[in-house]
């Protein structure tokens, strides 16, 4: 872990939190005293897994592993891209969840997002921000920069 700088630790920590959210309720229904919860569905689970994969790639790279990169983007761009796509999927899941609330004298119900989704959302925002800062500081080729020149033979 000494190979990890501060941004790497933030990315790996947020990835660990995103992985933990896979086992937490993302959606809940409460009717009176009875409560039922559910998972993140495909978009939420895929988003949390992409956030986790980005953290695993950072950990792999910093502990001596080698990531192949293209001519127009380096490994930091891959990590930032995975984190950003994961965050977008979590946001899509959040935006597509219905939310209803009602209460009366003898009856009340509530349907909507649960704490697992909110935790995944915060982890995704933190991880994506840290990955983008790491990409900026890496000094490697980024996808939107001018393409690298072809190597001459």
Domains of the chain: which residue ranges? 6-138
> What's the pLDDT score for residue 68?
63
> What's the pLDDT score for residue 13?
93
Q: List Cα–Cα distances, 125 to 13, 29, 64, in angstroms.
A: 12, 26, 27
> What's the pLDDT score for residue 73?
66
**How many other C-beta atoms are found inside a 10 Å radius of the C-beta of residue 94?**
19
> What's the pLDDT score for residue 15?
94
Q: Is the pTM of this model over 0.75?
A: yes
Q: Would you write out the chain's pLDDT as a tens digit for each of its 153 residues?
A: 677 788 889 999 999 999 999 998 888 887 777 777 777 778 888 999 999 999 998 888 877 766 666 566 678 888 888 999 999 999 998 888 877 777 776 777 778 888 888 999 999 999 999 999 988 887 776 666 666 566 666
HSE value, Cβ hemisphere, 13 Å, CA-based, for 128? 21
């Amino acid at each position: 872990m000494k190979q990890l700088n501060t941004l790497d630790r933030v990315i790996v920590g947020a990835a660990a939190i995103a992985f933990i959210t896979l086992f937490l309720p993302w959606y809940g229904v409460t009717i009176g005293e009875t409560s039922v919860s559910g998972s993140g569905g495909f978009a939420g689970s895929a988003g949390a897994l992409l956030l986790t994969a980005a953290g695993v790639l950072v950990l792999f790279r910093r502990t001596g592993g080698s990531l192949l990169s293209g001519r127009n983007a380096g490994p930091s761009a891959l990590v930032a891209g995975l984190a950003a796509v994961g965050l977008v999927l979590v946001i899509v899941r959040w935006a597509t969840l219905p939310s209803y609330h009602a209460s009366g004298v003898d009856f009340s119900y509530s349907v909507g997002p649960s704490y697992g989704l909110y935790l995944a959302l915060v982890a995704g925002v933190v991880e994506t921000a840290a990955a983008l800062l790491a990409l900026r500081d890496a000094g490697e080729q980024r996808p939107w920069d001018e393409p690298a020149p072809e190597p001459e033979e």
